């Protein structure tokens, strides 16, 4: 047999093996991504412990308006479901929006991915808060009543 022919066959076999290995690697990567995105949401107790602190300010300002909450993570999304009590409905929409935006911002700082806050999902008067609502919400410069007093009008910034 001709040396050139033998060398050509060896090169073709090596290239074929290389292509098969690369196709297998890409398919495995695609399967891993699919598994991660289709995995069921998991409750994140770690985030729930940190988020408990975010509820303190609104509870102090408006009383016990929250019945409970849970934080679920799935792939690149974090979702918090908040259930409320009767006094929540007595708050006006603006105040409820301030509270939910505060919770959304607190969760976004912790989660560092796409965050959604749902208040009383499926119930009349339920709320859904995402980055879009945060961008569109016009608070008129009003600060949350539970926010630290530094820099507010009528207070001394230096603390004297």
3-state helix, strand, coil in the chain (%, to 5): 50, 20, 30
pLDDT tens-digit series, residues 40-77: 878 889 889 989 989 998 998 888 899 999 999 987 88
pLDDT above 90 for 15: yes
Give pLDDT, residue 119: 94
69 and 83 in contact (C-beta within 8 Å)?
yes
Q: What is the pTM of this model?
A: 0.68
The ranges assigned to domains in the chain are 1-38, 42-136
pLDDT tens-digit series, residues 94-142: 999 999 999 999 999 998 889 999 999 888 888 999 999 988 988 887 7
Which 3 state secondary structure label does DSSP give 138? coil
pLDDT above 90 for 155: no
Q: How far apart are CA 90 and CA 99, in angstroms?
A: 14
Closest CA to 74 of 20, 130, 47, 36: 36
**3.30.70, 3.40.50, 3.10.590, 1.10.150: which CATH number matches 42-136?**
3.30.70
- Average pLDDT on 76-91 reads 90
Q: How far apart are CA 82 and CA 100, in angstroms?
A: 9
Q: How far apart are CA 16 and CA 2, in angstroms?
A: 21
């Amino acid at each position: 047999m001709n040396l050139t022919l033998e060398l050509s066959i060896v090169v073709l076999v090596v290239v074929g093996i290389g292509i098969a290995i690369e196709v297998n690697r890409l398919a495995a990567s695609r399967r891993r991504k699919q598994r991660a995105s289709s995995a069921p949401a998991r409750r994140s107790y770690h985030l729930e412990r940190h988020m408990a602190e975010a509820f303190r300010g609104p509870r102090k300002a408006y009383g016990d308006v929250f019945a409970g909450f849970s934080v679920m993570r799935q792939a690149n999304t974090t979702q918090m479901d908040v259930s409320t009590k009767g006094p929540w409905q007595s708050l006006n929409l603006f105040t409820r929006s301030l509270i939910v935006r505060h919770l959304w911002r607190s969760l976004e700082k912790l989660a560092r991915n796409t965050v959604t806050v749902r208040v009383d999902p499926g119930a009349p008067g339920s709320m859904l808060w995402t980055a879009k609502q945060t961008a569109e919400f016009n608070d008129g410069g009003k600060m949350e009543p539970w926010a630290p007093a530094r820099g507010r009008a009528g207070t001394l910034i230096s603390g004297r």
